[in-house]
């Protein structure tokens, strides 16, 4: 009997090794990413790019070590980190501050989104990609990654018109991307299956996703506000309660967003960016200024390891996915269409923000430099690509969408932070502390 107990304990310990290996790997990636990010800044490279480069290196090492099974765990981790980032973006959105610029933000967001969609889809179609697949990739091109934007604006303590435009832009852009992606995907599925376009799929898909993401987000945000409102400011455990409640609200919104729910026989998908963002927006605009400040302060203390982990993990994840998927598509097609996707999306974002800025009567700085801030793209675009592949019947088309998106994401995540920092510096939205970070001076060691 004793021997059986010993064997059972050994078996349980062995079965848990994979989880502990992942925890150990994550710890090493965070500490290594931190030092590489600091080193990058000494050479005027954004630390975000350093984090991502470290993640790419880890991904290559793990492929050599035959650890491809970690890709699923990495994808779940990045969805959590993305929810945290979206919630933090929502906290920054104060309706009082943008009230006078509301029309401008909406016009700029929609025009640049349509421009990225049209130019990317048209470019791919001109280079002989099937029209319905080009439309899907055009819709994916709209998505912008909020992680680098949140990280660098907080890192450099930016203030100004570009920063004030970036924060509300994400909420409008995500809602627009959901609707347009659902529309073109429904069309692509009809072409792929030969069944034709189904308007009802558009109604029951993206509109429900958008509506319920907003409603559930408002409900969670309001509950979060009520809990904090009941808290005595002089309570000794005030900071603990604020922090724990904020983390629970984030975890709750992330889990619901990624699970979705059933409405009768219909499975309603929810946006993993929009829902947690709406939670943050609701709390920020319904609570007191003091409660909002306390929440931001507590989350800012927690955010550095989350940000480093997000960019290192997503770097490793992209390397894994390219390695696992690359053999499924002809190489010449992959290189051609990925290059077209990258170039035409950049042109669409820059052209669209300029035209949108003119129509929205934005300042010269917003028209010229906002587009450079919208180049990063990561988990949201990859999630749309994987969902598109799951719905299409032609495996070649599905794999092509996924691979083009991943390769584009890799390029945008490496180069995007440079464009963001360039815009913030040219618009003089970086204060003295930010300038010190960009051009660090030698300091005494302890």
Distance separating alpha carbons of residues 258 and 268, to the nearest angstrom = 11
List pLDDT tens digits, range 41-54: 888 888 888 888 89
Question: In the structure, what pLDDT confidence band is assigned to residue 17 with cuts at 50, 70 and 90?
Answer: low
Q: What's the pLDDT score for residue 23?
A: 83
Let me know if residue 71 belongs to a domain: no
Beta strand pairing call for 266-268 and 261-263: antiparallel
CB 198 within 8 A of CB 391: no
344: pLDDT strictly greater than 90: yes
Q: What's the pLDDT score for residue 349?
A: 92
| Most confident region among 118-132, 276-290, 295-309, 351-365 by mean pLDDT | 118-132
Structural domain boundaries enclosing 158: 76-302+335-438
Q: What's the pLDDT score for residue 80?
A: 84
Q: What's the pLDDT score for residue 321?
A: 83
Question: In the structure, what pLDDT confidence band is assigned to residue 238 with cuts at 50, 70 and 90?
Answer: confident
List pLDDT tens digits, range 159-206: 777 877 777 777 778 778 888 888 888 888 878 776 655 555 656 667
The percentage of the chain sitting over the pLDDT mark of 90, rounded to a whole number, equals 13
Helices (H) and strands (E) in the chain, counts: 19, 2
Residue 232 φ/ψ region, left for φ over 0, alpha for ψ in the -120 to 50 degree band, beta for the rest: beta
Backbone angles phi, psi at 266, to 5 degrees: -95, 125
- Which of 287, 158, 164, 144 is closest to 226 using CA atoms? 287
The percentage of the chain sitting over the pLDDT mark of 70, rounded to a whole number, equals 87
Backbone angles phi, psi at 427, to 5 degrees: -90, 0
- Which of 48, 54, 85 is closest to 313 using CA atoms? 54
Q: How many other CB atoms are found less than 10 A from the CB of residue 207?
A: 14
| pTM of full prediction above 0.75 | yes
Nearest-10 Cα torsion for 116, 118, 124, 125: 180
Let me know if residue 3 belongs to a domain: no
Cβ density class 171-193: b for 16+ within 10 Å, e for less: bbbbbbbbebbbbbbbbbbebbe
Distance separating alpha carbons of residues 440 and 446, to the nearest angstrom = 17
Of 21-25, 36-40, 139-143, 263-267, the range with the lowest mean pLDDT is 263-267
68: pLDDT strictly greater than 80: no
> The tokens of 390 are what?
């799951």
CB 305 within 8 A of CB 241: no
> The tokens of 246 are what?
């904020």
Question: In the structure, what pLDDT confidence band is assigned to residue 5 with cuts at 50, 70 and 90?
Answer: very low
List pLDDT tens digits, range 382-399: 888 888 888 788 888 888
Question: In the structure, what pLDDT confidence band is assigned to residue 210 with cuts at 50, 70 and 90?
Answer: confident
Let me know if residue 428 belongs to a domain: yes
118: pLDDT strictly greater than 90: yes
Classify residue 287 by its DSSP letter: S
List pLDDT tens digits, range 303-332: 888 888 888 888 888 888 888 777 777 788
Distance separating alpha carbons of residues 35 and 51, to the nearest angstrom = 9
- Name 267's bridge partners: 262
Distance separating alpha carbons of residues 142 and 385, to the nearest angstrom = 12
Burial level of 237, CB count in 10 A (0-12/13-18/19+)?
exposed
Distance separating alpha carbons of residues 30 and 51, to the nearest angstrom = 9
Q: What's the pLDDT score for residue 355?
A: 92
Let me know if residue 44 belongs to a domain: no
CATH number at 163 reads 1.20.1530.20
pLDDT (average), residues 40-69: 84
**Within 13 Å, how many C-alpha atoms sit on residue 390's CB side?**
6
pLDDT (average), residues 325-341: 83
Cα distances (angstroms) measured from residue 358 to each of 172, 353, 367, 393: 19, 8, 7, 42
28: pLDDT strictly greater than 60: yes
Q: What's the pLDDT score for residue 437?
A: 46
Distance separating alpha carbons of residues 11 and 179, to the nearest angstrom = 49
Cα distances (angstroms) measured from residue 67 to each of 1, 62, 214, 410: 36, 5, 38, 20
The separation between CA 25 and the C-alpha centre of its own chain, rounded to angstroms, equals 22
Distance separating alpha carbons of residues 444 and 249, to the nearest angstrom = 41
Q: What's the pLDDT score for residue 343?
A: 94
Of 64-68, 140-144, 229-233, 280-284, the range with the lowest mean pLDDT is 229-233
How many domains is the chain partitioned into structurally?
1
Let me know if residue 32 belongs to a domain: no
Let me know if residue 361 belongs to a domain: yes
List pLDDT tens digits, range 138-165: 999 998 887 777 777 777 777 777 877 7
- Which of 400, 372, 373, 374 is closest to 388 using CA atoms? 400
**Helices within 43-101 (DSSP H only):** 47-64, 70-92, 95-98
Name the one residue in this structure whose structure tokens are 């004030």.
164
Compute the mean pLDDT over every residue in the chain, rounded to the nearest whole number. Answer: 80
Let me know if residue 41 belongs to a domain: no
Beta strands in 215-294 (DSSP E): 261-263, 266-268
105: pLDDT strictly greater than 80: yes
pLDDT (average), residues 246-253: 87
Distance separating alpha carbons of residues 57 and 248, to the nearest angstrom = 33
Q: What's the pLDDT score for residue 352?
A: 92
Q: What's the pLDDT score for residue 375?
A: 86
pLDDT (average), residues 4-30: 63
Distance separating alpha carbons of residues 189 and 319, to the nearest angstrom = 28
Let me know if residue 293 belongs to a domain: yes
């Amino acid at each position: 009997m004793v021997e059986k107990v010993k064997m059972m304990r050994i078996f349980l310990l062995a079965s848990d090794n994979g989880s502990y290996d992942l925890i150990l790997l994550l710890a090493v990636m965070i500490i290594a990413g931190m030092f590489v990010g600091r080193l990058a800044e000494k050479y005027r490279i954004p630390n975000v790019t350093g984090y991502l480069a470290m993640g790419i290196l880890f991904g290559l090492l793990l492929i050599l070590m035959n650890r491809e099974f970690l890709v699923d765990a990495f994808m779940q981790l990045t969805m959590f980190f993305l929810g945290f980032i979206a919630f933090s973006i929502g906290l920054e959105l104060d309706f009082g501050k943008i009230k006078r610029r509301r029309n401008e933000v909406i016009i700029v967001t929609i025009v640049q989104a349509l421009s990225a969609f049209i130019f990317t889809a048209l470019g791919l179609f001109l280079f002989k990609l099937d029209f319905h697949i080009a439309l899907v990739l055009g819709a994916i091109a709209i998505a912008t990654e909020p992680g680098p934007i949140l990280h660098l604006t907080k890192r450099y303590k930016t203030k100004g018109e570009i920063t004030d435009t970036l924060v509300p832009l994400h909420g409008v852009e995500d809602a627009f991307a959901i609707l347009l992606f659902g529309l073109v995907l429904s069309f692509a599925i009809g072409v792929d299956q030969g069944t034709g376009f189904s308007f009802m799929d558009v109604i029951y898909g993206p509109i429900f996703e958008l509506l319920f993401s907003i409603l559930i987000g408002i409900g969670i945000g309001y509950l979060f506000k009520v809990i904090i409102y009941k808290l005595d400011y002089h309570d000794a455990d005030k900071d603990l309660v604020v922090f724990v409640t904020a983390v629970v609200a984030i975890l709750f919104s992330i889990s619901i967003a990624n699970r979705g729910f059933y409405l009768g026989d219909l499975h309603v998908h929810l946006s993993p960016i929009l829902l947690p963002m709406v939670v943050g927006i609701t709390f920020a605009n319904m609570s007191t200024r003091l409660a909002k400040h306390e929440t931001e302060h507590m989350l800012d203390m927690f955010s550095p390891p989350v940000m480093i982990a997000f960019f290192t993990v997503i770097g490793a994840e992209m390397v894994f996915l390219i390695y696992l998927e690359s053999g499924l598509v002809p190489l010449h097609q992959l290189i051609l269409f990925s290059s077209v996707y990258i170039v035409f999306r950049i042109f669409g974002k820059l052209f669209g923000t300029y035209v949108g800025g003119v129509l929205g009567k934005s300042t010269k700085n917003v028209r010229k430099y906002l587009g450079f801030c919208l180049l990063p793209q990561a988990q949201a675009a990859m999630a749309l690509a994987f969902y598109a592949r799951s719905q299409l019947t032609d495996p070649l088309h599905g794999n092509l969408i996924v691979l083009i998106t991943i390769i584009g994401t890799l390029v945008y995540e490496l180069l995007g932070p440079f464009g963001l920092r360039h815009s913030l510096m040219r618009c003089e939205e970086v204060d003295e502390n930010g300038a010190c970070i960009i051009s660090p001076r030698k300091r005494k060691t302890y």
